């Protein structure tokens, strides 16, 4: 059936049976492609029927579809004329794994982070209202993303928007990890309540036979019926507080039920929330049974090297066993950050607060105020969501909270929203915080162990993936760098972070073949820097390497220092220019940014020779 769909309105004439075949076709394409390219499998499989029903009942691109996070949108891409390109999913120059307005007029907004959809929809709806447009915004948001404060801020504001909007709540009881907190409990109560389900199936029975143009009226009856005391007693009402009609829960894999409800919501005049229950990974047994594993699937290129995430988890277990004040915090990333085993071993000193990075950081400040030593494990690009909590609640009070920043630097496949290329810059400008970048998993372990007695704010950043630097770890001393190889040379290479230490090692080898010697330093403290060492570099050529943006980065910090102490040093800074990084492999991204060893070696050679003249 998928072959018959060029534009989404092509499916409007399909029968339910044909739509079910279409769903199967789409699922097969997703499965085949993700097994090859990697991608967000479980959530995309779970949303197939929902997205089919959206295109069947609503009119994109006239109506504006907003996909929260956007990792579930593969079916949408396949229904909007992108079947052929789908084979290039997440490949360099290929189709992005998230909605991209540059890709299609059906993609309204670019996303990648959670909980933004309802805010975007508020803005769209205000604009549509002012233009007296009959188009509406339709958001698809997961129950996990609903725990993010931004979603709540939008719900609170949405009542003041003078325009109908439709919110589809895709409830699969999962973020990337299983969901937590009272919102999750509440939703579970809603969709497991027997009384309610009986009531609903009865009401649904009444209206099931009614033909399509009668649906809205019947749904209104259903809605009114729900407005009974019984209904209030068991749910829905918190959404009513936000000025939203509540329909649900609906079976998110039953196309008849979805189409029935979506049509009713479309014909109604009021904003509503459609609560649908789906199974993450639906249609692919392995993913259904282990959705966390198949959240972001990578085709196995098994490397024997340990990942930074798992090394971090091991270190945390070790320090927690030695010191009872250690406490680990995550924002819905227990598996991703490597804390699975830790959480099992130390449930009393572990907290998964849901998709709520700001709260995770501020709550950590509260723990620290009562004598704990919290470690908040978070992906670099998501830490941006907690920036004020970092500044206002942790650093301004000089509290001993450690931010363990995974996926820092260049990140493969997921594109610009997942790049960790800003953290070093936006952190080092904050007072009281120290910023560390281990060169390998052994140094990460040493830093975590060293951090136990460090009673100030701390950030330790490390990349996605495996350890590729084998040089020995020198004991950690605050502000002391690690000279990996000392050469009799006026060329000094300062590399920060595991990826650039790896690249730097290759550069040293390339230069050696050209008979250029260089001293090579692992600049593992970005703040405070090793000023004692820097003071020895007068008159030399100093190269800085970092896989984050140059503006205000590590190189700038070195420039600031030499400028402040009025030292004459020939500095060359290499990092990422003021532009965004799309999706590609790490090696492709290094080449694209000119940060591969070959390119850098040539540039460094030129710079060095020019200076020698």
Q: What is the 3-state secondary structure (H, E, C) of 90-129?
A: CCCCCCCCCCCCCCCCCCCCCCCCCCCHHHHHHHHHHHHH
- Judged by CB under 8 A, does residue 501 bind a second copy? no
**Residue (of 312, 292, 581, 318) closest to 466 by Cα position:** 312
* Phi, psi dihedral angles at 589 (to 5 degrees): -65, -35
385: annotated active-site residue: yes
Cβ atoms of residues 236 and 190 within 8 Å: yes
Cβ atoms of residues 381 and 417 within 8 Å: yes
Retrieve residue 42's tokens.
């479980």
Q: How far is the CB of 392 from a second copy (least distance, A)?
A: 5
- Judged by CB under 8 A, does residue 149 bind a second copy? yes
End-to-end CA distance of the chain: 69
- Judged by CB under 8 A, does residue 431 bind a second copy? yes
Identify which of residues 281 and 358 has a Cβ nearer to a second copy in the complex: 358
For residues 382-421, which are near a second copy according to CB under 8 A? 382, 384-385, 387-389, 391-393, 396-397, 416-417
Identify which of residues 130 and 290 has a Cβ nearer to a second copy in the complex: 130
- Binding a second copy (rule: CB under 8 A), the pick from 477, 563, 587, 606 is 563
Rounded-to-integer distance, Cα 35 and Cα 254, Å: 26
The footprint of a second copy on this chain (CB under 8 A) covers a number of residues equal to 110
- Judged by CB under 8 A, does residue 289 bind a second copy? no
Give the β-pairing of 482-485 and 519-522. Answer: antiparallel
Residue 331, phi-psi category: left (phi > 0), alpha (psi -120 to 50), beta (remainder): beta
Q: How far is the CB of 264 from a second copy (least distance, A)?
A: 23
| Candidates 64, 164, 280, 461; catalytic one | 280
Binding segment for a second copy (CB under 8 A), chosen from 42-50, 155-163, 203-211, 248-256, is 155-163
Question: What distance lies between CA 603 and its chain's CA centroid?
Answer: 34
357: annotated active-site residue: yes
Q: How far is the CB of 313 from a second copy (least distance, A)?
A: 21
280: annotated active-site residue: yes
Rounded-to-integer distance, Cα 411 and Cα 90, Å: 12
Q: How far is the CB of 257 from a second copy (least distance, A)?
A: 26
- Judged by CB under 8 A, does residue 180 bind a second copy? yes
Q: How far is the CB of 473 from a second copy (least distance, A)?
A: 28
Rounded-to-integer distance, Cα 110 and Cα 120, Å: 10
- Binding a second copy (rule: CB under 8 A), the pick from 316, 571, 584, 595 is 571
- Judged by CB under 8 A, does residue 560 bind a second copy? yes
Cβ atoms of residues 391 and 429 within 8 Å: no
Binding segment for a second copy (CB under 8 A), chosen from 12-20, 116-124, 295-303, 475-483, is 116-124
Q: How far is the CB of 375 from a second copy (least distance, A)?
A: 13
For residues 525-554, which are near a second copy according to CB under 8 A? 549-553
Which residue reads 């009609």 in tokens?
Answer: 245
> Known catalytic residues?
280, 357, 385
């Amino acid at each position: 059936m998928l072959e018959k769909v060029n534009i989404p309105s092509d499916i409007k004439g399909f029968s339910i049976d044909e739509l079910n075949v279409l769903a199967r076709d789409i699922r097969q394409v997703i499965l085949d492609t993700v097994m090859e390219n990697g991608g967000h499998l479980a959530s995309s499989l779970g949303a197939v029927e929902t997205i089919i029903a959206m295109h069947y009942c609503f009119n994109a691109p006239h109506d504006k579809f907003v996909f929260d996070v956007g990792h579930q949108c593969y079916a949408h891409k396949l229904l909007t004329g992108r079947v052929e390109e789908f084979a290039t999913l997440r490949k360099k120059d290929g189709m992005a794994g998230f909605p991209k307005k540059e890709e299609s007029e059906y993609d309204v907004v670019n996303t990648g982070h959670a909980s933004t959809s309802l805010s975007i929809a508020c803005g769209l709806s205000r604009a549509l209202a002012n233009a007296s447009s009959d188009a509406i915004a339709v958001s698809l948001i997961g129950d996990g993303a609903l725990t993010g404060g931004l979603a709540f801020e939008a719900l609170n504001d949405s009542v003041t928007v003078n325009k109908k909007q439709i919110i589809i709540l895709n409830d699969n009881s999962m973020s990337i990890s299983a969901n937590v907190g009272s919102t999750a409990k509440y939703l579970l109560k809603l969709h497991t309540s027997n009384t309610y389900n009986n009531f609903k199936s009865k009401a649904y029975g009444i209206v099931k036979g009614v033909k399509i143009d009668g649906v809205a009226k019947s749904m209104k009856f259903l809605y009114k019926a729900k407005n009974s005391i019984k209904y209030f007693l068991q749910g829905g009402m918190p959404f009513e507080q936000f000025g939203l009609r509540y329909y649900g829960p609906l079976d998110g894999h039953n196309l008849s039920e979805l189409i029935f409800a979506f049509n009713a919501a479309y014909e109604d005049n009021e904003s509503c929330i459609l609560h649908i229950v789906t199974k993450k990974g639906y249609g692919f047994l392995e993913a259904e049974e282990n959705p966390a594993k198949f959240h972001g699937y990578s085709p196995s290129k098994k490397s024997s090297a340990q990942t930074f995430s798992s090394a971090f988890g091991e270190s945390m277990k070790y320090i927690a066993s030695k010191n009872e004040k250690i406490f680990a915090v995550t924002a819905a990333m227990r598996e991703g950050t490597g804390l699975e085993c830790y959480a099992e071993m130390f449930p009393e000193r572990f907290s998964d607060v849901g998709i709520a990075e700001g709260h995770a950081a501020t709550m950590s400040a509260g723990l620290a105020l009562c004598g704990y030593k919290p470690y908040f494990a978070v992906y670099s690009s998501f830490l941006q969501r907690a920036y004020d909590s970092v500044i206002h609640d942790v650093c301004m009070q000089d509290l001993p909270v450690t931010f363990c920043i995974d996926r820092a630097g260049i990140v493969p496949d997921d594109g610009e929203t997942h790049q960790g290329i800003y953290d070093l810059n936006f952190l080092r400008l904050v007072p009281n915080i120290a910023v560390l970048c281990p060169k390998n998993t052994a140094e990460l372990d040493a830093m975590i162990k060293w951090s136990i007695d460090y009673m100030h704010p701390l950030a330790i950043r490390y990349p996605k993936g495996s350890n590729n630097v084998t040089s020995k770890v020198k004991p950690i001393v605050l502000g002391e760098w690690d000279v990996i190889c000392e050469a009799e040379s006026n060329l000094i290479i300062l590399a920060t972070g595991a990826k650039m230490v790896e690249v730097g090692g290759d550069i040293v080898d390339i230069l050696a073949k050209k008979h250029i010697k260089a001293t090579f330093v692992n600049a593992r403290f970005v703040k405070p820097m090793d000023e004692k060492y820097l003071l020895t570099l007068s008159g030399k050529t100093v190269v800085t390497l970092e896989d984050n943006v140059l503006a205000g980065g590590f190189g700038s910090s070195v420039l600031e220092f030499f400028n402040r102490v009025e030292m004459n040093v020939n500095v060359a800074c290499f990092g990422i220019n003021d532009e965004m990084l799309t999706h590609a492999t790490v090696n492709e991204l290094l080449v694209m940014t000119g940060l591969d060893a070959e390119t850098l070696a040539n540039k460094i050679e030129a710079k060095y020779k020019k200076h020698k003249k």
